[in-house]
Chains A and B, each alone.
Chain A
């Protein structure tokens, strides 16, 4: 019964909420009002936008030393999570079987473990810093903590189910993923998508002013 619920209606519900929610949020940004800049451009807005989407992956040399913890832990977490999400064997098989119809070569088990360790270590450090640093503590919202905990729980249940053979553990992971998918479009997890328009808008602004940002 529970299995039917989690793998049936609940899964389709959360998938729908996730997809429609993300599209809706992106559409709201794209179709929101925006004024045309009447000043004469010095450089190209579009090339500035594209450049900025990529250049922001690298921190500015001038403050790199001050933000080392965020950069190192941030990359550990994001790269680890990315590898787990798209290259863990169970995920590849799941995507192939239930969503996409095609698959790709998953990473070996040892790489999975290493990626998970990177992701956990990074996430724990980032979340701790959020609570321990006076700046992050001041600006953090409840949403930030919910997303951190939810992501942690999803990763943890996934790794605890590694032993295979225990259906209930798989279902638990499945269920937490569904929670995350439902929460995703209404939280700062949206930054996984909105970082692109955000960087692009700013990059376009810099680009038309001829600033090398």
Chain B
């Protein structure tokens, strides 16, 4: 009974609270006392300044940033104590570290609520089984490669960002330091792979993601997810295009700031490093938050969406519901495959009877 209580979270919380209370009680008299304590052995009424004060003020750079000279030649070697560093560390703890978990949990909760209230966004008339080609093997491999590397970086990155506050209480210092070391190595190693995948993604998909006439209507109608009614879209619709450019632009920002952080040997000073860190962290949190939405929409959120990134083919009804202008050209070019033809191309023919006796070409 006692053991199980000790291992419960409640116990941890109680322990933490009582520790905090104790610390507070011990330190309270010192901080809450009435003014500075008198020093009886010092002559009263004589105002003296400790000569060390000025030096300390200079070193601490209370008034303005000062750069001294040093025998050591190197970036920022003239700065003894970096004031910005303090501000950056506080900013990092006060903002991303404190609010990122809330934001990410909130995103998940909103999507969960949406799923409960609205359910899966279906297609009028359901899926037809007739398919149309959408993504090549290479395009799909690239997408999933970027996705895998992104997830790996997101997990290791979040461990590095939030681990101290969230994981040490759970795993203890030793295990966490091990996980953090592993995460850091893995994060730095996979970072450049993300950048390369991103650039390949830019080359392969950019042209189809240029905004065009009609995209605004999509936005005005809420993408067809909020409310009802027909929304217009080309090969990619407004929502997909925006997600694409967000990934590309924010992804590039994260990658470049990441490279600045991982290669400190190119003469960048601390300020640049700190700015890079802030860009890196904020970009990553934005991308992770939105990617959760992307994953939701690509899987359980909308009917028929995942197929395009699995087999490379999508249902024509799905295409008509989400990309009507593209679907129209598919109709015009006679690119729609029957369910049987699609199954044959996937290597699992429906009618095994004469499955191998040739393709009906038209």
Direct contact, A vs B (beta carbon within 8 Å): yes
Which interface residue of B138, B196, B311 has the most chain A CB atoms within 10 A? B138
| Interface residues of B, Cβ cutoff 8 Å to A | 137-138, 140-141, 144-145, 148-149, 177-178, 181-186, 188-190, 192-193, 196-197, 310-312, 345-347
Residue of B nearest to A168 (CB): B178
* Cα of A161 to Cα of B189 in the assembled complex, Å: 12
Q: Contacts A132-B137, A159-B186, A161-B185 known; A169 to B145 CB distance under 8 Å?
A: no
| Interface residues of A, Cβ cutoff 8 Å to B | 69, 113, 116-117, 120-121, 124-125, 128-129, 132-135, 137-138, 156, 159-163, 165-166, 168-169
Q: Nearest Cβ in chain A — how far from B63, in angstroms?
A: 40
Other A-B pairs, 14, CB within 8 Å; known A120-B189, A124-B145? A117-B193, A121-B197, A125-B141, A128-B141, A129-B141, A132-B140, A132-B141, A132-B310, A135-B347, A159-B186, A160-B185, A161-B185, A169-B178, A169-B181
Partner of A120, one of B138, B141, B193, B311: B193
Q: Contacts A134-B346, A135-B347, A137-B347 known; A69 to B138 CB distance under 8 Å?
A: yes
Interface of B is mostly: helix
Residue of A nearest to B309 (CB): A132
Between-chain CB contacts (< 8 Å), 20 pairs: A69-B138, A69-B141, A113-B189, A117-B192, A120-B193, A121-B145, A121-B193, A125-B141, A128-B140, A132-B140, A132-B312, A133-B137, A134-B347, A135-B347, A162-B189, A163-B184, A165-B181, A166-B181, A166-B182, A168-B178
Q: Nearest Cβ in chain B — how far from A69, in angstroms?
A: 6
Contact between chains at B347 and A138 (CB < 8 Å): yes
Q: Nearest Cβ in chain A — how far from B87, in angstroms?
A: 29
Partner of B178, one of A125, A162, A166: A166
* Cα of A113 to Cα of B138 in the assembled complex, Å: 25
Q: Nearest Cβ in chain B — how far from A49, in angstroms?
A: 34
Contacts of A156 in B (CB 8 A): 186
Q: Contacts A132-B310, A134-B311 known; A160 to B186 CB distance under 8 Å?
A: yes
Residue of B nearest to A121 (CB): B193
* Cα of A31 to Cα of B337 in the assembled complex, Å: 51
* Cα of A2 to Cα of B65 in the assembled complex, Å: 54
